[in-house]
């Protein structure tokens, strides 16, 4: 058979008889490259070429704030979710109820201690009132003020919620061993100091 006839026969042959016929060249190439490999070189990725994890500067204030943030995010999310699921309380409402069950107080004083706006405190107290955990009555010593007191069902609610919080948080605290008490005392002192005014060089300056 002449060369021309062989070429003509090959051209007319069904595409299925020619390996790779009808398959784009790009598919033929990538089909032989492992999914995890670089499609251009066919080599596995170099781990050392991966972008490094973000690192914080080593300044003490930033280390403290980052650790505080991580602890709060790690514990408060779980605690808040379980308090809502089991007791109908969020974490703020539980802390507010903790103060009220300790001693009668007023909405204004509770807002000041928790450092929340008055409207937010109203929302928290509405939740606690709806759960029949507290009562709001007129203060006998000041007709313009309201007096907050815990109810018997509110005391039972707080006891149960405290048990839930303890179950969730205590394992992490116990891991600190003897360092737990000085750490707690240090945070309580820091909380008190943080209520003081800003340093004079950082306080906002009045515009003339």
- Return the minimum-mean-pLDDT range out of 58-62, 85-89, 128-132, 182-186: 58-62
Note the pLDDT of residue 27: 47
Q: pLDDT-derived band of residue 179, with 50, 70 and 90 as boundaries?
A: very high
Note the pLDDT of residue 199: 60
| Three-state secondary structure readout of the chain | CCHHHHHHHHHHCCHHHCCCCCCCHHHHHHCCCCCCCCCCCCCCCCHHHCCCCCCCCCCHHHHHHHHHHHHHHHHHHHHHHHHHHHHCCCHHHHHHHHHHHHCCECHHHHHHHHCCCHHHHHHHHHHHHHCCCEEEEEECCEEEEEEEEECHHHHHHHHHHHHHHHHHHHHHHHCCHHHHHHHHHHHHHHHHHCCCCCCCCCCCCCCC
- Return the minimum-mean-pLDDT range out of 2-6, 97-101, 123-127: 2-6
| Average pLDDT value for the chain | 79
Q: Would you say residue 207 has pLDDT above 70?
A: no
Which tens digit of pLDDT belongs to each residue from 73-117? Answer: 988 999 999 999 999 999 999 999 999 999 889 999 999 989 899
- The whole-number average pLDDT for the span 188-207 is 67
More confident residue, 23 or 46: 46
Note the pLDDT of residue 141: 77
- Return the minimum-mean-pLDDT range out of 18-22, 137-141, 153-157, 190-194: 18-22
Which tens digit of pLDDT belongs to each residue from 194-203? Answer: 777 556 555 5
Question: What are the residue ranges spanned by the domains of the chain?
Answer: 60-175
Q: Would you say residue 5 has pLDDT above 60?
A: no
Q: Choose the most confident range, by mean pLDDT, from 7-21, 56-70, 93-107.
A: 93-107
- The whole-number average pLDDT for the span 159-185 is 94
- The whole-number average pLDDT for the span 47-55 is 60
Q: pLDDT-derived band of residue 28, with 50, 70 and 90 as boundaries?
A: very low
Topology of the domain covering 60-175:
Arc Repressor Mutant, subunit A (1.10.10)
Q: Would you say residue 23 has pLDDT above 50?
A: no
Tokens of 196: 């003081």
């Amino acid at each position: 058979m002449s060369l021309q006839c062989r070429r003509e026969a090959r051209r007319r042959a069904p595409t299925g008889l020619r390996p790779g016929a009808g398959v784009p060249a790009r598919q033929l190439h990538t089909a032989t490259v492992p999914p995890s490999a670089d499609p251009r070189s066919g080599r596995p990725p170099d781990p050392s070429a991966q972008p490094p994890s973000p690192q914080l500067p080593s300044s003490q204030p930033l280390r403290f704030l980052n650790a505080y943030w991580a602890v709060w995010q790690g514990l408060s999310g779980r605690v808040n979710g379980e308090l809502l699921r089991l007791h109908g309380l969020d974490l703020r409402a539980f802390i507010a109820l903790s103060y009220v069950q300790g001693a009668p107080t007023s909405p204004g004083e509770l807002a000041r201690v928790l450092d929340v706006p008055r409207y937010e405190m109203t929302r928290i107290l509405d939740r606690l009132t709806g759960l029949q955990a507290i009562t709001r009555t007129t203060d006998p010593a000041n007709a313009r003020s309201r007096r907050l007191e815990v109810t018997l069902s509110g005391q039972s609610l707080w006891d149960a919620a405290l048990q839930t919080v303890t179950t969730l948080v205590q394992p992490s605290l116990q891991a600190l061993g003897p360092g737990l008490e000085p750490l707690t005392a240090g945070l309580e002192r820091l909380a008190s100091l943080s209520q003081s005014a800003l340093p004079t060089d950082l306080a906002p300056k009045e515009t003339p």
